Structure 1
Amino acid sequence: MWRNIVSNFLTLLIVILVALGGLVAWAKNQYVEPGPLAEAMCLRVAPGESLQGVSSKLKEKGAISSSYLFRTGAQYEEKADKLKFGSYLIEPNTSMQSIVGQITSGGPSTCGSELVFRIGVNGNEVLLRELDPTTGDYQKVAEYNPESEKPPEGFEEKADRVDVRTRVTVVDGVTSWQIVQGLKEASFLSGKIDGVPGEGTLAPDSYEVTRGADRQALIDLMSERQSKILADAWDGRAEGLPYDDPQQALTMASIVEKETGVPAERPEVASVFINRLEKGMKLQTDPTVIYGVTEGKGVLGRGLRQSELRKATPYNTYVIDGLPPGPIANPGKAAIEAALHPDSTDYLFFVADGSGGHAFSSTIEEHNKNVAKWREIEKQRQEDASSN
């Protein structure tokens, strides 16, 4: 009898152990296999938030099949108490194990909100935007001009969250003075700037920074980046260009940058000015004259006067021969590449064509016809504006 009882007990124990082993294997598979999330989501882990709170959010959003298994797996891997606050992009079908790894390893937030201080040619703006995880695109939440407007209601509360990333974006074609003034207005930065850097020496780009980052350190980074961009482009430049050194190429790039806002036109515009240099013609470009008037300190805000076009200054390319003494703005990488890899054309002239771009021509006769067309467009626009 006792032998039967023991035998039955052992059999039951084996069945239980086998079942338990199967359950453990199933739970492990659930933890490491692709998860049920159908569309990407943004998971925000608040400072001090518990693993239970995070697992509940994930279960509610359909990112995990079991909040219990999620917590158990994190505990087994000894990561349950290592949550790092931040906003995390969870891709479709991410496993529970991978999610635990994301939210316990820390590092920069990969989604959520971003505070952008944008330094532009015509002014600055502060922008709060949110990543749409399903498209990967940022959606604007709010914005304001720090020079003339107060932040919208609730803006600062949202922007001051600890997991909001901060970024400084410098637009192609701004001057060094504009960059310095802009960085002084960026309240989330700290420290002073050691004067205005040389024109053209700072790389327009988007720079992710931490709150309290040093302004001069950011200027130094911009300078290092521009130096590398110019050096690389100079080393791979086309043959036969009329530049004595990289600085002259940078000056040309800044003129190209200011002459067109159409990226595809940059190599064509560069070819016009290079052709003029090679023929001994004056460059005759308004942006250089404007720089001579403003010294890069903001925008002119009006048309050039005839007296300014006639006045002999180092930057008046209607008067001087060749290039001005230095850059007139900070050109982007594309403009630098255009100056060092221009199109091969016989163009000597260009004028606005009404579409946002320019009409190019090789002879003065063609150019005069294009100018006449542009003046007709301007006249029609003025008439339309006055009738409305």
Structure 2
Amino acid sequence: MVAKKKRSKNASTKSSKRQPSGIGLLSKALRVFLVLVVVGVFAGGAAFWFTQNALVEPLDVPLDGLRIDVESGSNLSRVVHELASQDVVRYPRLVLAYARVKKLGHIHPGEYLIPAGSNAMDLVARMNRGDVTRYRLTIVEGWTFAQALDLVRGSNKIKPTESAATVAAAAQALGIEGNPEGLIFPDTYIYRSGTTDLDLLRQAHQRMNRVLAEEWEKRASDLPYDRAYDALIMASIVEKETGVPWERDEIAGVFVRRLNKGMRLQTDPTVIYGMGENYAGNLRRADLREATPYNTYVIKGMPPTPIALPGREAIHAALHPKEGQSLYFVAKGDGSHKFSETLTEHNRAVRQYQLKRRSDYRSSPADVKQN
């Protein structure tokens, strides 16, 4: 009996070893699960730490920044992989994945300046916003269309085209019949790399049309102009006669009164414009007698086109001439003018300011200050 009990006990022991209880199995599974969770947490944390550091670490760019050109039709993947080939971006796939998650995959063409210290997130956001480098170009009041065209076509980052290779070609491309003189607005324009010369000229032409229409709408009454273009011609003459702001409406008043009285305008800038390349810097008496469509010493009324690019102030003055009696003016040599009502007064002023010129005589009003 005793022997049988021992065998039964041993059998029971062996049986318990071969068949672990349900609690033991659950405990072991829980331990494995906890280990996996811990490993997962550490792995996820490591991955998150790596991702964050990879995205925020500074790109390898020079201290003065890196300029990159994104061509029209390009995409973020192409740009990022190109930068990776230059060792600027270390983890291109990670950068592209970040852009997909943040929905920043769309980029704008143009030239970008990537400052030193920028990271991959900065790069993606900058191209997604279209923060391209912009340049400035100033077309000066009183310049001719030809001078403005030379500036535009020779400017940094502007793309010259055959459509604007000459004044005549540019006029045709802009839809202007004949001489385009005066029909682009002198101002400072902001443009991006790749802008064409025709793009900028078209912008300047449209701006002139808007400004002229606005000023024409608010014009004074009883003006000797049949159309806004006539006012533009007068404004160009005013622009060339003086750059002194407080004289523009007074000079416009002189010319308007002369037109109303049937007098010739007799203004030198129109003669010079009509001479073209024949003008050598000195206007002679013979030049004043030479008949051209622009010689207002010979023709009656105004020349057929503007003679320069007038600014808004000159256009406003032409449409709001100052009232008065003066019919003449002469340069005083300091940039301003002496106005006279009679020819006798005018001749006296000519003798004073022209025939006996001061040693520091100048016609430019650049440094003149109003009293």
- TM-score w.r.t. the length of structure 1 is 0.56
Q: Hey, what's the Cα distance between the residues in 2 that align with 1:13 and 1:268?
A: 90
Q: 1:337 aligns with which of 294, 316, 322?
A: 316
Query: Is contact 1:204-1:330 (8 Å) kept?
Result: no
2:278 is equivalent to residue 290 of structure 1: no
Instruction: Note closer, same or farther for the CA distance 1:42–1:329 as it changes in structure 2 (3 Å cut).
Output: farther
2:226 is equivalent to residue 203 of structure 1: no
327-336 vs 361-370, which deviates more?
361-370
% same residue = 29
Q: Hey, what's the Cα distance between the residues in 1 that align with 2:110 and 2:82?
A: 14
1:88 corresponds to: 112
Deviation at 1:332, TM superposition (A): 3.5
2:39 is equivalent to residue 10 of structure 1: no
Q: Which has the higher helix share?
A: 2
Alignment of 1:135-284 (within 5 A): 164-166=157-159, 179-180=167-168, 197-198=178-179, 200=181, 202-204=183-185, 226-261=208-243, 266-278=248-260, 281-284=263-266
76-85 vs 234-243, which deviates more?
76-85
1:54 corresponds to: 83
1:100 corresponds to: 124
Per the alignment, in what secondary structure is the counterpart of residue 44 of structure 1? strand
2:99 is equivalent to residue 77 of structure 1: yes
Q: Hey, what's the Cα distance between the residues in 2 that align with 1:242 and 1:18?
A: 86
Query: Is contact 1:251-1:324 (8 Å) kept?
Result: yes
Deviation at 1:315, TM superposition (A): 3.8
Deviation at 1:282, TM superposition (A): 3.8
**What is the RMSD computed on CA atoms of the aligned residues?**
5.6
Q: Hey, what's the Cα distance between the residues in 1 that align with 2:118 and 2:134?
A: 16
Instruction: Note closer, same or farther for the CA distance 1:74–1:3 as it changes in structure 2 (3 Å cut).
Output: same
Q: Hey, what's the Cα distance between the residues in 1 that align with 2:328 and 2:31?
A: 100
Query: Is contact 1:51-1:83 (8 Å) kept?
Result: no
Counterpart AA for 1:332: P
Counterpart AA for 1:14: V
Per the alignment, in what secondary structure is the counterpart of residue 257 of structure 1? helix
Query: Is contact 1:55-1:71 (8 Å) kept?
Result: no
Number of corresponding residues = 318
Q: After superposition, what is the alpha-carbon deviation per residue over 1:134-183, rounded to whole angstroms, capped at 9, x for unaligned?
A: xxxxxxxxxxxxxxxxxxxxxxxxxxxxxx44269xxxxxxx997237x6
Q: Hey, what's the Cα distance between the residues in 2 that align with 1:99 and 1:247?
A: 49
371-380 vs 248-257, which deviates more?
371-380
Instruction: Note closer, same or farther for the CA distance 1:200–1:123 as it changes in structure 2 (3 Å cut).
Output: closer
Q: Hey, what's the Cα distance between the residues in 2 that align with 1:194 and 1:314?
A: 23
Counterpart AA for 1:75: A
Q: Hey, what's the Cα distance between the residues in 1 that align with 2:117 and 2:147?
A: 44
Q: Hey, what's the Cα distance between the residues in 2 that align with 1:45 and 1:214?
A: 19
For structure 2, the residue ranges without an aligned partner over 5 or more in a row are: 1-23, 363-371
Q: Which has the higher strand share?
A: 1
Q: Hey, what's the Cα distance between the residues in 1 that align with 2:264 and 2:296?
A: 6
Q: After superposition, what is the alpha-carbon deviation per residue over 1:22-81, rounded to whole angstroms, capped at 9, x for unaligned?
A: 667777877999x999x994531478976255269796xxxxxxx556751323434999
Q: Hey, what's the Cα distance between the residues in 2 that align with 1:209 and 1:121?
A: 21
2:302 corresponds to: 324
For structure 1, the residue ranges without an aligned partner over 5 or more in a row are: 60-66, 130-163, 169-175, 185-190, 383-388
Structure with the greater alpha carbon radius of gyration: 2
Q: Hey, what's the Cα distance between the residues in 2 that align with 1:207 and 1:261?
A: 24
1:138 corresponds to: none
Instruction: Note closer, same or farther for the CA distance 1:20–1:113 as it changes in structure 2 (3 Å cut).
Output: farther
Instruction: Note closer, same or farther for the CA distance 1:22–1:348 as it changes in structure 2 (3 Å cut).
Output: farther
Q: After superposition, what is the alpha-carbon deviation per residue over 1:291-319, rounded to whole angstroms, capped at 9, x for unaligned?
A: 4x43xx44622433324434666544335
Per the alignment, in what secondary structure is the counterpart of residue 361 of structure 1? strand
- TM-score w.r.t. the length of structure 2 is 0.58
Q: Hey, what's the Cα distance between the residues in 2 that align with 1:248 and 1:201?
A: 11
